[in-house]
Structure 1
Amino acid sequence: MLQLGDEAVYFSAVFVLVASGTRSPTGASLLTAFLYVFMLMFRFPPVPADQAGRVLRPGGWGAAAAGSGGVPAVALGGGGRDAPENTLAAIREASRNGATGVELDLSLTADGVAVLMHDETVDRTTNGSGPVSGLRLVQVKKLDAAARHRLKDKFSGEKVPTLQEAVEECLRHQLTIFFDVKSQPDKAAAALHQMYKKYPALYNSSIVCSFEPKVIYKMRQTDSNVVTALIHRPWRLSRFDDGTSRSLSTSGRLWLGILDVLLDWAHHHILWKLCGVSAILVHKDFISVDYVQYWAERGVEVVGWTVTTAVEKDYYQKMLKIGYMTDSLLEDIDARY
């Protein structure tokens, strides 16, 4: 939990910043007091530690994680290197290959059915085209989800599963589920809430995560008993995954850089507490022993992504001793951004 000393420092910093900008100690005091009361009234407490532990440390990092060196290994998209991502085949392969959990990407069709799809469109992973939100379920179900995969012959004809189909498959294989929600917080929260009501085992075997704090806040509003996590990559607003700038202009780069600094500060000092998250999923390049300790002192688990090489996996298993997400449980593949 956030310590009283931390809160005093953070709100003192807000006071000094506002007072310096407005030259009004009274106004700064009122704004700081408002923010403090807002945090007290509207923040969500995290779920009980033992519940979060069952989700984030399945089997106590014992036998269930033995295949990954004693720490949880989560198959990203079900393990997109080993099988077509976000499919039932990927879930089965992940279980067979020793994963403790799978990360699944949630999208909604034109008729409001939750399905698994990472991108806004179906173009990259299927033989179809167009936005997921523009296709009805009957159209999505006609697509070949293995059409563009390197093992397309082996998995030919694999379909895009609904959220319910994926949940049932994960429960059969006793896999922890990381539901990654990218947009439409109201509809996504409603769809997930239905799954939690229908399958109560999910409360102890799944976690809802997102880059967007509003998604997590809406999920906690809808069902405060769900374990949640924020996803974070420093400089995400100003730089693409490979590090290149999103803006060509100097002013654009400067403005996006300022927003990135503010967002990073908010993740580490405000947003995690407001949403009451139990974990933070962070890009692998920004994780260290000290970083893991920083969050451990606040009762928050760190999970790294995307860990792909044998050297990286060994570092997470032996040095950091935290869970990680990977594209493959079988291969030592080139590092990716």
Structure 2
Amino acid sequence: MNIEFLKLIPSALTITYVTYGTCYLIKDIFCSIFPFSILLTVALVALIHLFRVPPPDPEIVEAILGKEPHEDIEEADYVLKTVAHRGAGLDAPENTLAAFKMCAEKGCDFIEFDIKLTDDGVPIVFHDATVERMADINMEVSKTTWENLKSIDISTKHPFRDRYGVTNIPTLEQAVDQMLACGQRMFIDIKDNDTKIVPVIHDLFQRKEELHSRAVVTSFFPNIIYLVRRGNPKIVCSLAWRPHAFAYESFKYPEGKGPRRASAWHKHILNELWDIVHTWSLPRITYYFLGLSALLLHKDALSGEKILEWKKKGVRVIPWSVNSPIEKQHIARNLKISYLTDTLTGENTVHCSTNNC
């Protein structure tokens, strides 16, 4: 039996919902003394505006992210061209002091790195839930103390491990101190939806005031970004986004969705619904409510139209992770925006072929 027609159900329900809602709205406006729909709309707008966090001053944002590559550039202006994703993890063991130093030596002055908490609450620079992908041991980071994690060599599986020797997981403090000393800027990516990390960020920015003009805090989770900016509106923040981020572990064109995050069907449906709501609300409400300054967008969801739409909202689009030389050239030369990459190989060629070199 051909069940292809079942795919039409969501679209048909949407049409029905919009039609019914429009009819109800017209009836409510013209037939009610106190139209509930209008009152509800006004109340929602008022609540969103009341509890939103205004974006930081554009001058502060420009101090961190610099001029956009397509703008008129003077010799003294800073222009962000390349962000080393996890410290260019294809060139050196990712999220390590060695990788960040390698970036500095190659002239890359903007680093993205990931942070999470150990079992005893120590903020460390690490991406995965476990260390298995990078080390000859398997430990769950959130259930392991810093004392047991700090001596693990995470270079053992890297193709260039011989260049770097034993490489360990750094703390957030160590990474930030080294990058500030090297004059590097940074994206601090909060990996987990754990509110315990929020006071850690606030304390870090309070102790290191220069981070307000050197660092952007980012995450996939809008609630985390809201709490960070609500507690300190001066912190510049971005949100990371990709298709199906909450329901599926990965997304890549042309393969599409990766494995499901949740095996239980009801949890998977909830994740799918959250993806739908989040995708709809991000360009309409979420960006305004959070006071976002940038959007870290999956490269396979990038288009010129999206860049222009977000530019009108005052939000920069920075795609990730752009590793192919052809993709780098397209983004740098045609779209004229910055990008995150896992490798610095060929960067000089890409950018020295642009008008802004």
Q: Indicate whether the TM-score tops 0.5.
A: yes
What amino acid does structure 1 have at the position aligned with 2:251? D
Counterpart contact for 2:238–2:292, Cα < 8 Å: yes
Shift of 1:64: 9.5
Specify which of 94, 97, 102 is matched with residue 106 of structure 2: 97
AA at the equivalent of 2:55: P
Is residue 209 from structure 1 mapped to residue 218 from structure 2 by the alignment?
yes
Match of 2:97 in 1: 88
1:173-230 deviation line (CA, Å, top 9, x unaligned): 1111101102244321211222212211110010000110011001012211100001
Alignment of 1:196-275 (within 5 A): 196-239=205-248, 240-242=250-252, 243-244=256-257, 246=259, 259-275=274-290
Which structure has the larger Rg over C-alpha atoms?
Answer: 2
1:39 corresponds to 2:52: no
| TM-score, normalisation: structure 1 | 0.84
Q: 1:59 to 1:296 in 2, by over 3 A?
A: closer
SS at match of 1:142: coil
**Which residue pairs with 2:336 in the alignment?**
321
Q: Aligned residue for 1:181?
A: 190
Structure 1: tracts of 5 or more residues without a match:
1-14, 333-337
Q: By how many angstroms is 1:234 displaced?
A: 2.3
CA contact (8 A) 1:193 1:222 kept: yes
What is the CA-CA distance between 1:86 and the residue it aligns to? Answer: 0.6
Are the equivalent residues in 1 in contact too, given 2:88–2:343 (CA < 8 A)? yes
In the alignment, does 2:159 pair up with 1:144?
no
- How far did 1:126 drift? 2.4
Partner of 1:74: 83
**2-structure distance, mates of 1:62, 1:115:** 38
Residue range with higher mean Cα deviation, 43-52 or 92-101: 92-101
Match of 1:330 in 2: 345
Secondary structure, counterpart of 1:304 in structure 2: strand
Root-mean-square deviation over aligned CA pairs: 3.0
- Kindly, what percent of the aligned residue pairs are identical? 30
Amino acid at match of 1:241: F
Match of 1:11 in 2: none
Please say if 1:285 is aligned against 2:300. yes
Report the 3-state secondary structure (helix = DSSP H, G, I; strand = E; otherwise coil) of the residue aligned with 1:154. Answer: helix
Contact 1:102 1:177 in 2 (8 A): yes
1:134 aligned residue (131, 135, 143): 143
Q: Which residue of structure 2 lines up, in the alignment, with residue 4 of structure 1?
A: none
Q: Provide TM-score, normalisation by structure 2.
A: 0.80
Q: Which shifted more, 267-276 or 248-257? A: 248-257
- 1:113 matched residue in structure 2: 122
User: Aligned partner of 1:109: which letter?
Assistant: T
Q: Distance in 1 between matches of 2:167 and 2:102?
A: 13
Aligned position for 2:169: 160
